[in-house]
Structure 1
Amino acid sequence: MASDSRTQPPWIAPQSRPDVQLPRLKIYNSLTRSKDDFVPLDPIGKTVTWYGCGPTVYEDAHLGHAKNYVSTDIIRRIMKDYFGFRVKFVMNTTDIDDKVILHGRQQYLLARFKQEHAAEDESVSNSVLAVAKAAFQHYISKNLPSLPSDTNPENFSEVADKIEAPPLADAAIVKEDQAVTVADLLLRAHIGTARSAAEALQTPGQLPGFFAKTGDILLPYLDALHGAEMDSNNHKVYLALGQKFEHRFFEDMNSLNVLAPDQLTRVTDYVPQIVRFVEKIVANGFGYATTDGSVYFDIDSFEKAGHNYSRLEPWNKNDRALQADGEGSLSKGRSMKRGDNHFALWKASKPGEPAWPSPWGYGRPGWHIECSAMASEVIGKTIDIHSGGVDLRFPHHDNELAQSEAYWSTPGHQVQWTNYFIHMGQLRIRGLKMSKSLKNYTTIRTVLSEKEWTARSLRICFLLMPWQDGIEVTDELMKAVVSWEGKFNDFFLKSLNLWEHPSPKTTAMQQLNVADQQLLTALDKAKADVDTALCDSFNTSAVMGILSDLVTQSNSAEALSDQTVILLARWVTRIITIFGLDSEGDLNDLDRIGWSGLNIPMPAKPYIYPTSQLRDKVRTMACSGSVDHTAIAKLADGITIAAPIPVAEASRPYDQVLQQFRTNVMVLATQQAPAKDLLALTDQLRDVHLWNLGIYLEDRNSPKPALVRPVDKLLVEARAEQESAGTAKAKAKVEQEARKAGMDKELRERSTVDPLLMFRTSDEYVEWDDSGIPTMDATGNLVSKNRRKKLVKEWERQKVRYEEWLATQQAA
């Protein structure tokens, strides 16, 4: 949305310093909704302070989190490794808020319930069944109130089928122009949970399986019964969940090659600092305590003092639903705040919620105050960059801005707490953001374990799109990712092969030809274009296109010198390493080419390279026109393996392929087999035995040897398309042969018909001449001359067929 000057004052731009050399970098700034020149606070223009909103750690991170944190990591790496800034990156984990409290408490109560019944028989007891049945009724009454009051586990499936929306995957039912709403997803999620529990209640089985199916209904029910009984001073109950999922979050980030923060802050480590932060806001006249022990931010007083509230999303300033969501699920109910839009700085803890001492009584921090207090504590009064997902702009970041300015500003002097807000676009499914509550998400762990995506392909996906835009993952986008990655796999493999096995003509410096000069000119232009794109608010999508075009130009050039290709490959390697596409990348290694994963496994090398060399020689001899079987047998017999004996277990499959191929070659050589049989054997090695081991031999024009490479997704898809085309061709051939057979059969059957009778069996005619040719049609009209000519020709053809048939019958 365009900026509204009536609701947003001019952004206070950092002052440029003529004595400091800064890059021409512009950053899209959510504060101004425009691209602003980047000027850091550091007097010498080197250090950049950056605070990133981290996760609320109560469940495993999903692909939506991957989009946020990988995009953040890409920009951070560009700032550090391309522009040369010293980035101080601070991130928090919210280890105690409404979601963590609720989930931590529920998990604790469910674990206790399971423990209480652990001594019972493995089968489900009546006492467990009774609690689960009560939990079922509690769940559907709260989440599926439209169901009839007599709904029970036995009739639930029948009742639910009448109200459940069609499944998302059924494209024939859910039309493209039919939007899937949050209500649709919630309905599906609640019905799915209740359906699973209903099935378990009807056939309980054993305890572990029973709890797996009923856990989601037991959690809220046990919490409703016992949640308020929890000891508010026993923080371990609540922190255990956060500690577990914080650890798992950083495992996920490491698997995605996301750099760890330079400093990590946890809310529970900063409660005293948060209390002091709130005290000062109240002292400055922008907060007030209520009699229940809560403290709220006074937006009215803030604005009367000349400040602006809701600078990031002024159009959402009065959105009560977003404001309520920002206050947390445990804050619903009566509030003593003075204004509907005022928000909590400190929450009085209710029974069953963790609590810390404060001047207002025992309570806990509000969600928004934590980042303001922690960032101010570790960075100071002004931050260069503040980042997070686009969904945090309002109310979270708008509230952070207000709190921090209320804390740091003094009468007559307003402090701009953050100079540049950058917000990452969301990953969306059918137009909706990924959400744990909607159950429309896939965890990072699941995606990486199923091999559909890799850390690299996910990062390529995010690099191909502007970081501030949302992404809808489509088949087209996935194809673009596979194509880009496969293209660069090929380029790096061939460049590495040139480096490791120089052309015979290579000297210390080959004479550069016209093609070399053209490519070097293109490289210089690409460097300038990449710089322009990165200065344009980290436009990685443009850079990805520039790199792709450059590689295309290299692939299409003829007679390039080795050093030109290697020079190009090393520069491309540097850029993709800056982007974090290589988990083993080292920017200090100026000779490095490509990324990890280009080589076949180490245990395979001593066996596969000799296999490939033998295959190359057999193919060359088989194609020579005169096969020397004695020489082929000698090659197979004399193959050497540079590996210890006995064969290591990890190398055994590769050794078996080598030995079998060598045996087969010697057998064919002994049998004086024709060249086609030898070539078929080499194709079988490539297309079956090595392919099944994840290795492919890419044949090249002689005298170049086959390129040994791992099987990647592009190769798999290319083979699938080839096989699909072959299957379609074979199917078409079968259908054509069937049609021909049918026509032949019909022709044979027609040949047995006497031409004197061929028209007499038709209802179309009523009179015929002596030869059986029609003279009058069924309507009483005489057959016209033109029509009779056609009928005569047809009669004559049939006469010939009939006579031929009679002849064959007589011969038989």
Structure 2
Amino acid sequence: MINSKITLYNSLSKQEEELKTISDHEVKMYCCGITVYDYCHLGHARTCIVWDVVRKYLQWRGYKVTYIQNFTDIDDKILNRARKEKCSMEEVSERFIKAYFEDMERLNVSPADAYPRATHALDGIKKLVWELEQKGYAYQTGGDVYYSVHKFDGYGKLSGRKLDDLQAGAGGRANQSEAQKENDFDFALWKSAKPDEPSYDSPWGKGRPGWHIECSAMVREMLGETIDIHAGGNDLIFPHHENEIAQSEAVTGKSLANYWMHNGMVKVEGEKMSKSLGNFITIRELLEKYDPMAVRLFVLQANYRKPIDFTKDAMESATNGWHTFCEGLQFGIKHGTSLNWTEDTHHNMITSVQERFCQEVDRDFNFAAGVAILFDLAKDLRRESNILVHEGRTTLSSEELGDKWYTLITLADVLGLKVDFYEQDSAQTQMSDEEIEALVQERIMARKAKNYAEGDRIRDILKEQGITLIDGAGGVTKWHR
């Protein structure tokens, strides 16, 4: 494997740093997941694709990666939906967790190693709250437990926020009784039960956990007191990740994560995505219009830390780019026989391409530059495919073409770009060779009878099925998929 060093941008230090893991060749990585009260949207797609590819790349570079992503299944938004639909909070959560996995499978996002849920981590949550209370960082009032922010010296080190600048209620996610708190910016660790709400037993009475404490407890339970990478969208830097740091580090005295990484947000036609603006796009709606791999390519062609703008033009460009990738990825399937490849034919990675790919992506996961390198390979193979079809030859040797193709499919797999996802919907309706040959013969007969309109009609039918016809001398017609 390439020996160059991987650097990444650390949101905590505000600079790029060399990746140095706690254990050699191992990465413990946690990504803040979704609150399961609705279908996932375009922003979730970006977050899940980005960290999926970071994990894939680290694994390909030789690291053993333990990747954990949580589900928040206790939340006011879930509760409100359950009330509206007259069902339980658990029913809402289960429905949208199932939908999440369906959406991610279509986007070729590999499953995490584990998906802890807040409802399954209650013992760890209560233990952490109790420890914070014992150490003087938490206080109880009226059945609620709050974190006393001013007692943690490092508060604000991730976001750059100063306590003096914080506004009332900035640290909370749900409605809280402000009068009970010692300071406006203290945030809830445990919320006392309200009438007709789900609640759980605790040393402070019946209630449910605050949002921030859930992730602190799940990180600790699944990965330990200090992890390598903590990831998520940059909208989580404050207050969620800032509060995670305060909670975890106050108890352990250790860094919660050595590297904090955040992906940028998604805009739609230049505007922030929101239901009120009518530009809210779920993954399901998106995949009704666009190929899943075109969506993946769209996400990877941008710097992961920068905002991206979802526009019709951008998606058309990504779709065209994916078509080029497809032609390159299918090269060996289409032409392997013509090039005398067999099951025993061995192809090699092109070392120079692999080195360039690693050099680019090693710099803070520059997937856009990696995509550009693969795009050049795909274009080369598409050109050779056209020459082979139309002229019956290639400009490169069979061995060179095999190495190009092998390099492309190997590195594309690192990015999660797979051609079988592109073809899975059309495969079931694909014409057989016999059906194609029959239509080709019908067209030949029509042209001999000077019925050129019928010949053109048949050509169009075949073209819609992805079949190209090549008319040669003596009335001979060749075809290829």
For Structure 1 versus Structure 2, the TM-score category normalised by the shorter chain is 0.7 to 0.9
3-state SS in 2 of match to 1:296:
strand
Task: Please report how far the alpha carbon of residue 267 of structure 1 lies from its aligned counterpart in structure 2 after TM superposition.
Answer: 0.6
Of 349, 357, 360, 1:530 maps to 357
1:564 and 2:400 are equivalent in the alignment: yes
Q: Structure 2: how far apart are the matches of 1:702 and 1:489?
A: 31
1:708 corresponding residue in structure 2 = 480
Report deviation, 1:602. 6.8
Deviation at 1:488, TM superposition (A): 2.0
SS of 1:265's partner is coil
Contact 1:600 1:695 in 2 (8 A): no
Report the TM-score when normalising by structure 2. Answer: 0.88
2:388 corresponds to: none
Q: Does 1:580 align with 2:413?
A: no
Distance 1:495 1:481 in 2: 23
Q: Is the 8 A contact 2:5 2:18 kept in 1?
A: yes
- For residues 62-105 of structure 1, give each alpha carbon's deviation from its aligned partner in whole angstroms, at most 9, with x where no partner exists: 1111111111111111111x212111111111111121122222
The structure 2 residue matched to 1:371, chosen from 186, 211, 215, is: 215
Residue 312, structure 1, aligned to residue 158, structure 2: yes
TM-score, normalized by length of structure 1? 0.54
Q: Which residue of 2 aligns with 1:416?
A: 255
- Counterpart in 2 of 1:513? none
Across the aligned residues of Structure 1 and Structure 2, the Cα RMSD in angstroms comes to 3.1
Alpha-carbon distance between aligned partners in 2 of 1:597 and 1:562, rounded to the nearest angstrom? 28
Q: How does 1:148-547 map to 2 (within 5 A)?
A: 237-290=88-141, 292-303=142-153, 308-315=154-161, 320=166, 324=169, 326-331=171-176, 333-409=177-253, 415-436=254-275, 439-448=278-287, 450=288, 452-502=289-339, 523-547=350-374
Deviates most, 363-372 or 45-54: 45-54
Residue 26 of structure 1 corresponds to 7
Where structure 1 has 5 or more consecutive residues not aligned to the other structure, the ranges are 1-20, 112-236, 410-414, 510-519, 586-594, 616-635, 637-660, 710-812
- From 23, 39, 51, the counterpart of 1:72: 51
The corresponding residue for 2:61 is 83
CA contact (8 A) 1:356 1:363 kept: yes
SS for the counterpart of 1:35 is: strand
Q: Distance in 1 between matches of 2:477 and 2:62?
A: 42
- The equivalent of 2:80 in structure 1 is 102
Deviations 1:323-352 (A, max 9, x none): 736512433x54311111111111122223
Summarize deviations over 1:477-508 as a string: whole Å, max 9, x none: 2232122112222333444332122379x9x9
Q: Which amino acid aligns with 2:375?
A: S
Contact preservation (8 Å) 2:329, 2:408: no
State the identity %.
Answer: 31
Q: Which runs of 5+ in 2 are unaligned?
A: 385-393
| Pair 530,22 (structure 1): closer, same or farther in 2 beyond 3 Å | closer
Report which structure shows greater RCO (CA 8 Å, sep ≥6): 2
Q: Is the 1:296–1:337 Cα contact (8 Å) retained in structure 2? A: yes
Q: Which amino acid aligns with 1:324?
A: G
Cα distance between partner residues in 2 of 1:326 and 1:437:
24
Contact 1:293 1:361 in 2 (8 A): yes
* Residue type of the alignment partner of 2:115: L
Residues 12-57 of structure 1, C-alpha deviations (whole Å, 9 max, x = no match): xxxxxxxxx9751111111112211111111xx1221111111100
- C-alpha contact (below 8 Å) 2:74/2:119 kept by paired residues: yes
Structure 1 pair 391–583 and aligned structure 2 pair: CA distance change class (3 A): farther
Residues 381 and 436 of structure 1, relative CA distance in 2, 3 Å threshold: farther
Instruction: Say whether the 8 Å CA contact 2:328–2:377 is kept in structure 1.
Output: no
Conservation of the 8 A alpha-carbon contact between 2:139 and 2:146: yes
2:463 aligned with 1:686: no
Counterpart CA distance in 2 for 1:311 and 1:430 is 34
Contact 1:489/1:598 (<8 A) preserved: no
Instruction: Write the letter of the residue equivalent to 1:339.
Output: N
Choose which of 28, 34, 38 in structure 2 pairs with 1:59: 38
Alignment coverage as a number of residue pairs: 467
Question: In structure 2, what residue type is equivalent to 1:312?
Answer: L
Larger Rg over CA atoms: 1
CA contact (8 A) 1:99 1:329 kept: no
Distance in 2 between the 1:446 and 1:300 partners?
Answer: 45
Q: Which protein has the bigger strand share? A: 2
Shift of 1:610: 2.3
Specify the code of the residue in structure 2 equivalent to 1:470.
Answer: P
